[in-house]
Protein backbone atom coordinates (compact mmCIF):
# COMPACT_ATOMS: atom_id res chain seq x y z
CA UNK A 1 0.00 0.00 0.00
CA UNK A 2 2.61 2.48 1.13
CA UNK A 3 4.70 2.28 -2.02
CA UNK A 4 1.64 2.65 -4.24
CA UNK A 5 0.69 5.78 -2.34
CA UNK A 6 4.22 7.24 -2.42
CA UNK A 7 4.31 6.75 -6.19
CA UNK A 8 1.43 9.21 -6.60
CA UNK A 9 3.19 11.83 -4.50
CA UNK A 10 6.28 11.45 -6.69
CA UNK A 11 4.15 11.67 -9.83
CA UNK A 12 2.66 14.94 -8.63
CA UNK A 13 6.14 16.39 -8.24
CA UNK A 14 6.65 16.11 -4.51
CA UNK A 15 10.02 15.30 -3.02
CA UNK A 16 9.59 11.97 -1.23
CA UNK A 17 11.78 10.19 1.30
CA UNK A 18 10.88 6.61 2.17
CA UNK A 19 11.63 4.02 4.81
CA UNK A 20 10.55 0.39 4.97
CA UNK A 21 11.88 -2.88 6.36
CA UNK A 22 11.10 -4.33 2.94
CA UNK A 23 14.17 -3.21 0.97
CA UNK A 24 12.85 -4.16 -2.47
CA UNK A 25 9.84 -1.86 -2.02
CA UNK A 26 12.26 0.92 -1.05
CA UNK A 27 14.58 0.26 -4.01
CA UNK A 28 11.68 0.37 -6.43
CA UNK A 29 10.69 3.83 -5.22
CA UNK A 30 14.30 5.05 -5.19
CA UNK A 31 14.51 4.10 -8.87
CA UNK A 32 11.50 6.33 -9.42
CA UNK A 33 13.12 9.28 -7.69
CA UNK A 34 12.51 8.86 -3.98
CA UNK A 35 15.20 9.31 -1.35
CA UNK A 36 15.95 6.54 1.11
CA UNK A 37 15.97 7.34 4.83
CA UNK A 38 18.51 5.42 6.87
CA UNK A 39 16.18 5.17 9.82
CA UNK A 40 12.49 5.83 10.45
CA UNK A 41 13.30 8.65 12.89
CA UNK A 42 14.99 10.50 10.04
CA UNK A 43 11.55 10.99 8.47
CA UNK A 44 10.31 12.76 11.59
CA UNK A 45 13.39 14.90 11.63
CA UNK A 46 13.48 16.01 8.00
CA UNK A 47 10.07 15.74 6.32
CA UNK A 48 7.23 18.25 6.36
CA UNK A 49 4.64 15.50 6.17
CA UNK A 50 5.14 11.91 7.28
CA UNK A 51 2.70 9.23 6.16
CA UNK A 52 2.72 5.81 7.82
CA UNK A 53 0.89 2.64 6.85
CA UNK A 54 1.45 -0.15 9.37
CA UNK A 55 -0.18 -3.51 10.16
CA UNK A 56 -1.16 -3.35 13.87
CA UNK A 57 -1.76 -0.90 16.74
CA UNK A 58 1.25 -2.30 18.58
CA UNK A 59 3.56 -1.53 15.64
CA UNK A 60 2.09 1.96 15.30
CA UNK A 61 2.78 2.67 18.97
CA UNK A 62 6.32 1.40 18.68
CA UNK A 63 7.05 3.23 15.42
CA UNK A 64 5.91 6.55 16.83
CA UNK A 65 6.70 6.46 20.52
CA UNK A 66 9.41 3.79 20.84
CA UNK A 67 13.03 4.75 21.45
CA UNK A 68 14.34 6.12 18.15
CA UNK A 69 10.74 6.32 16.94
CA UNK A 70 9.26 8.99 14.73
CA UNK A 71 8.58 11.27 17.67
CA UNK A 72 12.12 11.08 18.98
CA UNK A 73 13.36 13.60 16.44
CA UNK A 74 10.12 15.16 15.19
CA UNK A 75 9.73 18.94 15.49
CA UNK A 76 6.70 21.27 15.21
CA UNK A 77 7.63 21.69 11.54
CA UNK A 78 6.50 18.11 10.89
CA UNK A 79 2.95 16.87 10.48
CA UNK A 80 2.41 13.16 11.15
CA UNK A 81 -0.35 11.23 9.41
CA UNK A 82 -1.05 7.56 10.14
CA UNK A 83 -3.15 5.62 7.62
CA UNK A 84 -3.05 2.27 9.43
CA UNK A 85 -6.28 0.59 10.51
CA UNK A 86 -6.00 0.79 14.30
CA UNK A 87 -8.22 1.42 17.31
CA UNK A 88 -8.97 5.02 18.29
CA UNK A 89 -7.36 4.59 21.71
CA UNK A 90 -3.98 3.96 20.13
CA UNK A 91 -4.40 6.97 17.83
CA UNK A 92 -5.34 9.11 20.83
CA UNK A 93 -2.28 7.94 22.78
CA UNK A 94 0.09 8.71 19.90
CA UNK A 95 -1.64 12.08 19.49
CA UNK A 96 -1.06 12.91 23.14
CA UNK A 97 2.61 11.91 22.90
CA UNK A 98 2.98 14.09 19.78
CA UNK A 99 1.17 17.03 21.36
CA UNK A 100 3.65 17.01 24.23
CA UNK A 101 6.30 17.85 21.63
CA UNK A 102 4.05 20.32 19.82
CA UNK A 103 3.88 17.99 16.86
CA UNK A 104 0.61 17.56 15.00
CA UNK A 105 -0.69 14.01 14.48
CA UNK A 106 -3.74 12.76 12.56
CA UNK A 107 -5.35 9.35 12.10
CA UNK A 108 -6.22 8.95 8.43
CA UNK A 109 -7.16 5.40 7.42
CA UNK A 110 -8.11 4.69 3.84
CA UNK A 111 -10.88 2.90 1.97
CA UNK A 112 -10.39 1.31 -1.40
CA UNK A 113 -7.53 -1.06 -0.64
CA UNK A 114 -4.78 -1.93 -3.12
CA UNK A 115 -6.70 -1.18 -6.35
CA UNK A 116 -7.60 2.35 -5.17
CA UNK A 117 -4.07 2.93 -3.88
CA UNK A 118 -2.75 2.00 -7.31
CA UNK A 119 -5.29 4.17 -9.13
CA UNK A 120 -4.92 7.10 -6.76
CA UNK A 121 -8.60 6.94 -5.83
CA UNK A 122 -8.36 6.29 -2.12
CA UNK A 123 -10.93 7.67 0.31
CA UNK A 124 -9.37 9.16 3.45
CA UNK A 125 -11.20 9.21 6.80
CA UNK A 126 -9.40 11.65 9.02
CA UNK A 127 -9.58 12.36 12.74
CA UNK A 128 -8.45 15.77 14.01
CA UNK A 129 -9.17 19.46 13.65
CA UNK A 130 -11.21 20.12 10.50
CA UNK A 131 -9.40 23.31 9.50
CA UNK A 132 -6.00 21.65 9.97
CA UNK A 133 -7.14 18.70 7.87
CA UNK A 134 -8.21 21.00 5.04
CA UNK A 135 -5.15 23.20 5.11
CA UNK A 136 -2.34 20.88 6.12
CA UNK A 137 -3.44 17.48 4.80
CA UNK A 138 -5.82 17.79 1.86
CA UNK A 139 -3.27 19.08 -0.68
CA UNK A 140 -1.26 15.91 -0.10
CA UNK A 141 -4.08 13.43 0.47
CA UNK A 142 -5.79 14.46 -2.78
CA UNK A 143 -2.61 13.47 -4.64
CA UNK A 144 -3.33 9.90 -3.54
CA UNK A 145 -7.09 9.85 -3.29
CA UNK A 146 -10.34 11.43 -4.37
CA UNK A 147 -12.12 12.18 -1.10
CA UNK A 148 -11.14 13.37 2.35
CA UNK A 149 -13.64 13.12 5.21
CA UNK A 150 -12.99 15.10 8.37
CA UNK A 151 -14.65 12.63 10.70
CA UNK A 152 -14.33 14.38 14.07
CA UNK A 153 -11.79 14.46 16.91
CA UNK A 154 -8.62 12.35 16.90
CA UNK A 155 -9.52 8.64 16.60
CA UNK A 156 -12.65 9.31 14.54
CA UNK A 157 -10.97 8.28 11.30
CA UNK A 158 -10.10 4.94 12.87
CA UNK A 159 -13.67 4.38 14.00
CA UNK A 160 -15.11 5.21 10.57
CA UNK A 161 -12.76 2.66 9.05
CA UNK A 162 -13.69 0.02 11.63
CA UNK A 163 -17.41 0.65 10.95
CA UNK A 164 -16.80 -0.10 7.28
CA UNK A 165 -14.66 -3.14 7.92
CA UNK A 166 -17.03 -4.64 10.45
CA UNK A 167 -19.78 -4.25 7.84
CA UNK A 168 -17.48 -5.85 5.26
CA UNK A 169 -16.93 -8.91 7.43
CA UNK A 170 -20.66 -9.24 8.15
CA UNK A 171 -21.54 -8.89 4.46
CA UNK A 172 -19.04 -11.49 3.36
CA UNK A 173 -20.12 -14.02 5.98
CA UNK A 174 -23.80 -13.32 5.39
CA UNK A 175 -23.40 -13.64 1.64
CA UNK A 176 -21.49 -16.89 2.07
CA UNK A 177 -24.36 -18.25 4.16
CA UNK A 178 -26.92 -17.14 1.55
CA UNK A 179 -25.03 -18.63 -1.40
CA UNK A 180 -24.42 -21.90 0.45
CA UNK A 181 -28.06 -22.13 1.50
CA UNK A 182 -28.96 -22.05 -2.17
CA UNK A 183 -26.10 -24.33 -3.19
CA UNK A 184 -26.91 -26.97 -0.58
CA UNK A 185 -30.51 -26.98 -1.88
CA UNK A 186 -29.19 -27.41 -5.41
CA UNK A 187 -29.11 -23.88 -6.81
CA UNK A 188 -26.24 -22.50 -8.88
CA UNK A 189 -24.33 -19.86 -6.84
CA UNK A 190 -23.72 -17.87 -10.01
CA UNK A 191 -27.45 -17.60 -10.63
CA UNK A 192 -28.23 -16.81 -6.99
CA UNK A 193 -25.53 -14.10 -7.10
CA UNK A 194 -27.09 -12.61 -10.21
CA UNK A 195 -30.48 -12.53 -8.51
CA UNK A 196 -29.06 -10.99 -5.31
CA UNK A 197 -27.27 -8.38 -7.41
CA UNK A 198 -30.61 -7.35 -8.90
CA UNK A 199 -32.28 -7.52 -5.50
CA UNK A 200 -32.15 -6.05 -2.03
CA UNK A 201 -29.35 -8.36 -0.87
CA UNK A 202 -26.88 -6.69 -3.24
CA UNK A 203 -23.56 -5.68 -1.69
CA UNK A 204 -19.91 -5.03 -2.54
CA UNK A 205 -19.08 -8.64 -1.67
CA UNK A 206 -21.69 -10.03 -4.08
CA UNK A 207 -20.83 -7.68 -6.94
CA UNK A 208 -17.08 -7.12 -6.73
CA UNK A 209 -15.64 -9.76 -4.47
CA UNK A 210 -17.87 -12.82 -4.80
CA UNK A 211 -16.57 -15.73 -2.70
CA UNK A 212 -17.70 -18.45 -5.12
CA UNK A 213 -14.79 -19.01 -7.52
CA UNK A 214 -15.39 -18.11 -11.15
CA UNK A 215 -18.18 -15.58 -10.82
CA UNK A 216 -15.99 -12.46 -10.65
CA UNK A 217 -12.76 -13.03 -12.61
CA UNK A 218 -10.75 -10.49 -10.57
CA UNK A 219 -11.99 -11.69 -7.17
CA UNK A 220 -9.42 -13.52 -5.01
CA UNK A 221 -11.78 -16.53 -4.83
CA UNK A 222 -11.22 -17.11 -8.54
CA UNK A 223 -7.49 -17.14 -7.90
CA UNK A 224 -7.52 -19.75 -5.13
CA UNK A 225 -8.26 -17.13 -2.47
CA UNK A 226 -4.74 -15.76 -2.95
CA UNK A 227 -3.86 -12.11 -2.51
CA UNK A 228 -6.54 -9.62 -1.53
CA UNK A 229 -7.28 -8.80 2.08
CA UNK A 230 -5.90 -11.44 4.38
CA UNK A 231 -8.06 -13.27 6.90
CA UNK A 232 -5.77 -12.37 9.78
CA UNK A 233 -6.10 -8.67 8.98
CA UNK A 234 -9.90 -8.73 8.88
CA UNK A 235 -9.86 -10.79 12.06
CA UNK A 236 -7.72 -8.10 13.69
CA UNK A 237 -10.11 -5.35 12.54
CA UNK A 238 -13.13 -7.22 13.89
CA UNK A 239 -11.33 -7.39 17.23
CA UNK A 240 -10.64 -3.65 17.16
CA UNK A 241 -14.29 -2.95 16.32
CA UNK A 242 -15.31 -5.15 19.26
CA UNK A 243 -13.02 -3.12 21.50
CA UNK A 244 -14.63 0.16 20.46
CA UNK A 245 -18.11 -1.39 20.83
CA UNK A 246 -17.29 -2.38 24.38
CA UNK A 247 -15.92 1.06 25.22
CA UNK A 248 -18.98 2.93 23.95
CA UNK A 249 -21.44 0.12 24.87
CA UNK A 250 -22.81 -0.22 21.33
CA UNK A 251 -24.68 -3.41 20.39
CA UNK A 252 -22.94 -5.51 17.73
CA UNK A 253 -24.47 -9.00 17.77
CA UNK A 254 -23.59 -9.81 14.15
CA UNK A 255 -20.20 -8.10 14.44
CA UNK A 256 -19.34 -10.18 17.50
CA UNK A 257 -20.50 -13.42 15.91
CA UNK A 258 -18.60 -12.69 12.69
CA UNK A 259 -15.49 -12.18 14.84
CA UNK A 260 -16.10 -15.59 16.41
CA UNK A 261 -16.61 -17.40 13.11
CA UNK A 262 -13.41 -15.84 11.78
CA UNK A 263 -11.69 -17.01 14.96
CA UNK A 264 -12.67 -20.58 14.13
CA UNK A 265 -11.15 -19.96 10.71
CA UNK A 266 -7.97 -18.59 12.30
CA UNK A 267 -7.63 -21.84 14.24
CA UNK A 268 -7.69 -23.96 11.11
CA UNK A 269 -4.51 -24.67 9.28
CA UNK A 270 -3.78 -22.70 6.14
CA UNK A 271 -6.61 -20.18 6.26
CA UNK A 272 -5.04 -17.19 8.04
CA UNK A 273 -2.96 -16.13 5.05
CA UNK A 274 -5.76 -16.54 2.49
CA UNK A 275 -8.09 -13.75 1.39
CA UNK A 276 -10.92 -13.27 3.90
CA UNK A 277 -13.51 -14.49 1.39
CA UNK A 278 -12.17 -17.99 2.13
CA UNK A 279 -14.79 -18.05 4.92
CA UNK A 280 -17.07 -19.34 2.13
CA UNK A 281 -14.89 -22.39 1.70
CA UNK A 282 -14.65 -22.91 5.45
CA UNK A 283 -18.46 -23.11 5.69
CA UNK A 284 -18.81 -25.42 2.70
CA UNK A 285 -19.60 -29.05 3.43
CA UNK A 286 -16.64 -31.25 4.09
CA UNK A 287 -18.62 -34.49 3.91
Q: Which is nearer to a copy of itself, 19 or 276 (CB)?
A: 276
The Cβ of residue 273 has, within 10 Å, a number of other Cβ atoms equal to 11
Strand partners, 250: none
Show the site string, 182-201: x = touches a copy of itself by CB under 8 A, - = not: xxxxxxx--xx-xxx-xxxx
Binds a copy of itself by CB under 8 A, chosen from 16, 258, 274, 278: 258
- The footprint of a copy of itself on residues 260-279 (CB under 8 A) is 260-261, 263-264, 266-269
> Using CA atoms, how far apart are residues 223 and 149, in angstroms rounded to an integer?
34
Look at residue 275 and give its three-state secondary structure.
strand
Q: Which is nearer to a copy of itself, 97 or 254 (CB)?
A: 254
Binding part of the chain for a copy of itself, among 28-36, 64-72, 132-140, 175-183 by CB under 8 A, reads: 175-183
> Using CA atoms, how far apart are residues 105 and 86, in angstroms rounded to an integer?
14
Show the site string, 36-75: x = touches a copy of itself by CB under 8 A, - = not: ----------------------------------------
DSSP state at residue 221: G
> Using CA atoms, how far apart are residues 104 and 154, in angstroms rounded to an integer?
11
> Using CA atoms, how far apart are residues 234 and 229, in angstroms rounded to an integer?
7
Binds a copy of itself by CB under 8 A, chosen from 31, 38, 217, 286: 286
Please state the closest distance from residue 120 (CB atom) to a copy of itself, in A: 14
Please state the closest distance from residue 104 (CB atom) to a copy of itself, in A: 21
- The footprint of a copy of itself on residues 126-145 (CB under 8 A) is none
CA distances for 187 relative to 190, 196, 205, 284, angstroms: 9, 13, 19, 14
> Using CA atoms, how far apart are residues 161 and 179, in angstroms rounded to an integer?
27
Q: Single out the catalytic residue among 161, 230, 236, 281.
A: 161
Does 177 interact with a copy of itself (rule: CB under 8 A)? yes
Does residue 7 have an active-site annotation? no
* CA-based radius of gyration for the chain: 20
Does 34 interact with a copy of itself (rule: CB under 8 A)? no
- The footprint of a copy of itself on residues 199-238 (CB under 8 A) is 199-206, 208-209
Q: Which is nearer to a copy of itself, 18 or 126 (CB)?
A: 126
> Using CA atoms, how far apart are residues 165 and 102, in angstroms rounded to an integer?
32
Q: Which is nearer to a copy of itself, 30 or 245 (CB)?
A: 245
The residue among 155, 94, 146 whose CA lies nearest residue 124 is: 146
- The footprint of a copy of itself on residues 87-106 (CB under 8 A) is 88
C-alpha 95: how far from chain center: 20
Q: Which is nearer to a copy of itself, 75 or 184 (CB)?
A: 184
- Tell me the catalytic residues: 161
Amino acid sequence: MGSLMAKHLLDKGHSVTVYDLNKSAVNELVKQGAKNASHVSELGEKCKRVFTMLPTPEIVTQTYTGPDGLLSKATPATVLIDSSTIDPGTAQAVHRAAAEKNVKFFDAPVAGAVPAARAGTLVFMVGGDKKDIEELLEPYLLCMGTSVYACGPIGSGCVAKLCNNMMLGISMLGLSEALLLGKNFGLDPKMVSAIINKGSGRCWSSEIYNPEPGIVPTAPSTNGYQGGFKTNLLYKDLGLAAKVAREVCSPTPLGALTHEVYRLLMQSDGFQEKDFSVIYKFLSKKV
